[in-house]
C-alpha cells in the first residue's frame, strides 16, 4: 500500500518513541510543531508517488516481488533505475529542500548487496532474512532512518580502545533468539519521525572489534532507544516561510541494551563484509546526495533569477550578473552530470542489483561538498545586501512604515515590492540563516567528509589503465622517431642520454 503524506503522519501515531527536543519530552511526534517541517519534507515523497505525472520517477516495480513500491524503497536493477532515482531525489528535494527519505533507499540497496556477499563467504542466511524484511517495509511503505555515524569518541583510537565503549554501537550480548546492542549513533537524519532505524557500521572494523560490525533493524520505539533531537528547519519563524514549512531534524540516538531478534539482524561480526556494507551504502548515498543538492541548486537558480528581475536588471545586458548565474548553473549541472554518469556506468552486483559507478558518484559528491559555499556566494552576489538587511516581516503590517517601505524597497516598476521582499527572505532563509549554514554543513559532511570521497576516488580510479596507455605509446616508440634501441637509461637512443648531474651544496641554494 502506498501511503499519502497524511497517512504517513498518522502512521507515526502508532509508535511511542522516547524523544527529547530542546530539553523537553515530546508527547506526540506527529503533532509537535517543532518536528512538523521534517514530517512535511518526508511527506513529499509519499504524495508525489500518487501523482500521475511523477509516477514513473516516484514508483517502481520491485523485481523480487513484482509489486509496485515507492522509489525511495526500491532496489535498483538497471542504469535506468539509478537515473530515475537520481531524478526522483532532485524532484522531491527541489520542493522540500531535503526530503530525507532517500537515505532509506540507499541503506536498503547497500544491504541488498552486502547480505548476499556475506552469505556467499560465510554460509549465513542474511539475504533471505533481509528480503523478508525488505518486502515488509515496502508493503507497509515505511521510512527508515540510517543510524550509521557513531559518536566515535577519540578519532585516533579504534572502537575497542575507547575509554567509553558506548561511543560506538556494538553487540553486547548474543542470545539464542537474537542480540543485544548498546552504544550511540550521533547524527541520524529525521530520527524522531522515522518508523525504524537501520543500524549500520560506519567503517571497516578490525577483527578484534568484530562486535562493532553489526547491522540490524530497530523500531524507533523499541525498549532502550532514546532520541535526543533538534527542531526541523525554522518552525514558527515568520521570516522563514520555506524553512518553517520544510526542514530536517537530526537526532542523537542512544541504544541502551536493545534486544534485536535474529530475523532483524543482517550482520553480526563479519568485519570485512561490514566494511563492504559501509562502502556500498556510501556509493548509493553519495549519488542520492547529488540529486538532493541539484534540487537545492534549482531553488537558488530560480530565486537568483527572480531577484535579478525584481532589481530591474537584465542578465543579457549585464555580463557580470549573467556570468554569476552561469557559474551557479555550471556548478549545479556539473555535479548532477556526475550523478548521471555514475548511473550510466553503474556496476552490476552478483545480488542482481546495480550500484552507481564509485568514481563518478564520489566526484559528484566531492564537487557539491566543496562548491556549496560558492553556490551561496553566487546567490548573494546577484541578490545584493537586502537579503540580510531587510526589516522583519512584522514591519510588513506596521501602518506607520509599511507604505513608505514598500515604496522605496520596490525595484522594477511592474514587480510589486512585496514580491521582491519575499524573494529576498527566501534567499536569506536558504543561504544566510542558520538553515543556510545547515545546507552548507550537510553538503560538506553528509554522506562522509570530503576525505572519504577522495579515498574512494583514488581507490577506484583505473590508474593502471592510464599508465598502460602511456607505456604502450612509449613502447610503440612515439618519441624515438625510429631510432630507439632500448628502454634502458643511457641506451634509449642512438646518442645515449646521460644521467642528469645532481646539484648539491652551495650550487643548489
Ligand atoms: C545534517 C547532517 C545529516 C546527517 N545525517 C546522517 C544520517 O542520517 N545517518 C548517519 O549515519 N550519519 C549522518 N550524518 C553524518 C555524516 O555522515 C558525518 O557527519 C560524516 O561521516 C563525518 O563524520 P563526523 O561528523 O563524525 O566527523 P569526523 O569523523 O569527526 O570528521 C571531522 C574531520 O576530521 C577528519 N577525521 C576524522 N577521523 C579522522 C582520523 N581518524 N584520522 C584523520 N582524520 C580524521 C575528517 O576527515 C574530517 O575532516 C549527517 C551529517 C549531517 C551534517
What is the ipTM metric for this complex?
A: 0.99
Residues 6+ positions from 24 with CB-CB distance below 8 Å = none
Gap from CA of 21 to ligand 1 centroid (Å): 22
Burial class (CB in 10 A: 0-12, 13-18, 19+), 273: buried
Binding residues for FAD: 189
Residue whose Cα lies nearest atom 33 of ligand 1: it is 449
Helix axis angle for 271-310 and 79-96, nearest 10°, is 50
Q: Which helix (H) or strand (E) holds 296?
A: helix 271-310
Query: Residue 253 and residue 147: Cα distance in Å, rounded?
Result: 8
User: In the chain, which residues fall in CATH 2.40.110.10?
Assistant: 5-276
Q: List phi, psi (to 5°) of 354.
A: -125, 155
In CATH, the number for domain 5-276 is 2.40.110.10
DSSP for 190-212, written as a single string: TGGG-SEEEE--SSPPPGGGGGG
In angstroms, what is the span from residue 490 Cα to ligand 1's centroid? 52
Q: Are 93 and 59 in contact (CB under 8 A)?
A: no
Alpha helices in 76-192 (DSSP H): 79-96, 102-122, 126-140
pLDDT lower than 70: segments of the chain: 480-509
- CA dist 66 and 493 (Å) reads 67
Query: Which residues, in sequence order, are CB contacts of 96 under 8 Å at separation 6+?
Result: 40, 41, 44, 246
The best mutation among 72, 101, 106, 155 to test binding of ligand 1, ranked by most ligand atoms within 8 Å of the C-beta, falls on 155
Euclidean distance between CA atoms 473 and 470, whole angstroms:
5
pLDDT of 508: 40
336/90 Cα distance (integer angstroms): 9
Closest Cα to atom 49 of ligand 1: 449
What pLDDT, in 10s, does the model give residues 429-439? 999 999 999 99
Domain with residues 279-460, CATH architecture: Up-down Bundle (1.20)
Atom of ligand 1 nearest to the CA of 151: 26
Rounded to whole angstroms, how far apart are CA atoms 412 and 306?
A: 11
Residues forming CATH 1.20.140.10 domain(s) in the chain? 279-460
Going from the Cα of 449 to the center of ligand 1, the distance in angstroms, rounded, reads 6
Listed in sequence order, the residues at least 6 apart from 373 whose beta carbon sits closer than 8 Å to its beta carbon are: 440
Q: What does the alpha-carbon distance between residue 457 and residue 157 come to, in Å, rounded to a whole number?
A: 25
Q: Rounded CA gap, 355 and 397, in Å?
A: 53
Q: Which residues line ligand 1 (CB under 6 A)?
A: 103, 146-149, 152, 155-156, 187-189, 250, 441-442, 445-449, 451
What element of type H or E holds 184? strand 178-189
Percent composition of the chain: helix, strand, coil (DSSP 3-state, to 5):
55, 15, 30
Closest protein CA for atom 51 of ligand 1: 446
Taking the centre of ligand 1 as the mean of its atom positions, its distance from the CA of residue 153, in whole angstroms, is 12
So what's the pLDDT on residue 491? 55
CA-closest residue to ligand 1 atom 46: 449
Residue 312, CA distances (Å) to 376, 384, 390, 414, 420 in order: 21, 13, 18, 9, 11
C-alpha cell at 123: 554460509
Give, using CA atoms, the residue closest to atom 38 of ligand 1.
155
pLDDT for residue 447: 96
Please count the residues of the chain. 509
Residue 101: how many CA atoms within 13 Å on its side-chain side? Answer: 33
Condensed to tens digits (0 to 9), the pLDDT of residues 358-417 reads: 999 999 999 999 999 999 999 999 999 999 999 998 888 899 998 888 889 999 999 999
Amino acid at each position: 500500500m502506498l501511503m499519502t503524506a497524511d497517512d504517513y503522519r498518522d502512521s507515526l501515531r502508532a509508535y511511542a518513541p522516547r524523544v527529547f527536543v530542546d530539553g523537553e519530552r515530546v508527547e506526540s511526534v506527529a503533532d509537535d510543531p517543532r518536528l512538523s517541517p521534517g514530517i512535511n519534507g518526508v511527506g513529499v515523497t509519499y504524495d508525489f508517488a500518487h501523482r500521475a505525472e511523477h509516477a514513473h520517477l516516484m514508483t517502481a516495480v520491485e523485481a523480487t516481488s513484482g509489486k509496485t513500491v515507492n522509489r525511495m524503497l526500491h532496489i535498483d536493477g538497471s542504469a535506468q533505475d539509478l537515473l530515475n532515482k537520481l531524478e526522483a531525489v532532485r524532484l522531491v528535494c527541489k520542493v522540500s529542500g531535503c526530503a530525507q527519505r532517500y537515505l532509506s533507499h540507499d541503506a536498503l540497496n547497500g544491504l541488498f548487496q552486502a547480505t548476499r556477499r556475506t552469505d556467499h563467504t560465510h554460509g549465513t542466511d542474511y539475504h533471505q532474512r533481509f528480503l523478508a524484511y525488505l518486502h515488509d517495509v515496502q508493503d507497509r511503505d515505511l521510512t527508515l532512518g540510517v543510524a550509521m555515524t557513531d559518536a566515535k569518541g577519540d578519532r585516533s583510537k579504534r572502537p575497542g580502545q575507547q575509554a567509553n565503549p558506548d561511543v560506538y554501537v556494538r553487540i553486547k550480548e548474543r542470545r539464542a533468539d537474537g542480540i543485544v546492542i548498546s552504544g550511540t549513533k550521533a547524527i541520524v537524519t529525521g530520527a524522531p519521525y522515522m518508523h525504524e532505524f537501520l543500524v549500520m557500521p560506519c567503517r571497516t572494523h578490525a577483527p578484534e572489534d568484530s562486535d562493532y560490525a553489526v547491522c540490524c533493524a530497530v523500531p524507533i520505539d523499541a525498549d532502550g532507544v532514546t532520541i535526543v533531537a533538534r527542531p526541523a528547519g525554522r518552525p514558527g519563524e515568520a521570516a522563514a516561510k520555506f524553512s518553517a514549512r520544510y526542514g530536517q531534524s537530526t537526532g542523537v540516538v542512544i541504544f541502551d541494551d536493545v534486544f534485536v531478534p535474529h530475523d532483524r539482524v543482517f550482520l553480526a561480526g563479519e568485519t570485512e563484509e561490514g566494511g563492504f556494507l559501509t562502502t556500498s551504502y556510501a556509493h548509493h548515498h553519495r549519488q542520492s546526495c547529488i540529486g538532493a543538492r541539484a534540487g537545492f541548486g534549482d531553488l537558488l537558480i530560480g530565486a537568483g533569477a527572480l531577484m535579478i528581475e525584481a532589481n530591474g536588471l537584465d542578465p543579457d545586458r549585464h555580463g557580470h550578473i549573467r556570468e554569476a548565474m552561469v557559474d551557479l548553473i555550471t556548478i549545479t549541472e556539473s555535479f548532477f552530470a556526475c550523478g548521471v554518469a555514475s548511473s550510466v556506468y553503474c556496476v552490476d552486483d552478483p545480488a542482481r542489483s546495480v550500484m552507481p559507478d564509485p568514481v563518478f558518484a564520489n566526484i559528484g559528491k566531492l564537487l557539491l561538498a566543496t562548491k556549496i559555499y560558492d553556490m551561496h556566494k553566487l546567490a548573494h552576489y546577484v541578490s545584493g545586501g537586502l537579503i540580510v538587511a531587510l526589516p522583519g516581516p512584522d514591519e510588513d503590517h506596521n501602518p506607520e512604515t509599511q507604505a513608505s517601505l514598500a515604496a522605496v524597497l520596490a525595484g522594477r516598476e511592474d514587480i510589486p515590492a512585496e514580491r521582491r521582499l519575499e524573494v529576498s527572505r527566501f534567499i536569506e532563509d536558504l543561504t544566510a540563516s542558520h538553515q543556510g549554514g545547515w545546507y552548507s554543513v550537510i553538503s560538506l559532511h553528509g554522506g562522509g567528509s570530503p576525505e572519504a570521497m577522495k579515498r574512494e576516488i583514488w581507490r577506484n580510479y583505473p590508474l593502471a589503465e592510464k599508465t598502460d596507455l602511456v607505456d604502450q605509446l612509449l613502447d610503440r616508440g612515439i618519441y624515438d622517431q625510429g631510432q630507439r634501441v632500448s628502454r634502458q637509461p643511457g641506451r634509449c637512443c642512438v646518442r645515449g642520454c646521460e644521467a642528469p648531474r645532481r646539484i648539491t651544496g652551495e650550487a643548489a641554494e
